[in-house]
Amino acid sequence: TMEWHRILYKKGWVAPHWPKEHGGPGFDANRRFILSEELELAGTPQLSPFGLVMVGPLIMQFGSDEQKKRYLPKILSGDEVWCQGYSEPNAGSDLASLRMSAEDDGNGHFIVNGQKTWTTYAQYADWIFCLVRTDPNVKKQAGISFLLIDMKSPGVEAKPMLTLGHTPAFSDTFFENVRVPKENLVGPLNGGWTLAKALLGHERTLIAAVGQSQRTIARAKKIAAQHQRNGKPLLEDPAFRNRIARLEIRLRGLQMTNYRSLAGAQLGHAPGPESSILKIRGSEILQDATELIVDLMGENGLSWFNGPGAVPPQEQWAGSNLCYTRATTIYGGTNEIQRNVIAKYILGLG
């Protein structure tokens, strides 16, 4: 992934949404979407979104000039890798209930204590952006701040966890009396909830994953052409063709919704509650397309392990991938929460 990052960086395409003044190409929303979709269709490695798509644009919008100079160039080049510290053991869907504390020591630092969980690739990251509680005596959303923390700081420990898909992508991350300079605060003190909502809007539009679903459906068709049922390729089976058609119709609808969102972005509008629609539909379509591939492979589709064995190497990825895509309806805010957002802010039912 980092090698691909460097290739795109040299080409000037690693951050198509970044403006020219910060080192990006300044592509408009349509060109960004086209590039993203074509890269997904080609099956290129997925870049980590935490620096380029999440904290980078947030620093551009809310950060100081010093923070922009310090962090943005190394995010762009890939010299510093980032991870996200949002979820906690008792703060997932109800993120505002987070407990990780940051106390002012009166000497230019915050003292951070607590735990983050489901921290993607924390064991490889140089920096983590965190939501922390800086005032426990006010309404829970009002006492949260946004901090940048060096993962090499004394007192920071990432413990990888093995998931059902056998991917060591996540960690529990612990903070014990970690000293964080006050200049690492992004935005106003106790103003972190505003930044959190802005960042989650960007994350939910990513999870639409139109190109990834297109590639998965194309892969399903290829597998179906190679597998037989009743002496004929599965690709000719009416039940299979019906499932494919339904998936492609839903995906086309998602594309059209994404285009409408792009039209708003072209006018300078930030992602709003409509990003919840993209998140719900995109995650569900990707799950269904992945499940279709496992069904096509039969018992071979349940293999979770890579390496020598009874399952052909080209089919060993399917079971693990199925387990991993189960998480798409959870991260970035569960789909149940997204339906609440749609009901309240779009349908006015709150």
| Residue 203 annotated as catalytic | yes
Residue 278: exposure state from Cβ atoms within 10 A (0-12, 13-18, ≥19): buried
- Catalytically annotated residue among 37, 40, 88, 203: 203
- Strands 82-85 and 127-133 come out as parallel
Phi-psi region of 76 (alpha: psi -120 to 50; beta: other; left: phi over 0): alpha
For 132, phi and psi rounded to 5 degrees?
Answer: -130, 155
DSSP 8-state assignment for residue 87: -
Residue type, 88: E
Q: Is the separation of the CB atoms in 349 and 220 below 8 Å?
A: no
Identify the CA nearest to 148 among candidates 197, 114, 111, 182: 182
- Angle, CA of 332, 338 and 342, to the nearest 5°: 145
- The rounded distance, in Å, linking the Cα atoms of 267 and 156 is 42
Structure tokens at 310: 């009874």
- The rounded distance, in Å, linking the Cα atoms of 121 and 36 is 22
Q: Which residues are catalytic?
A: 203
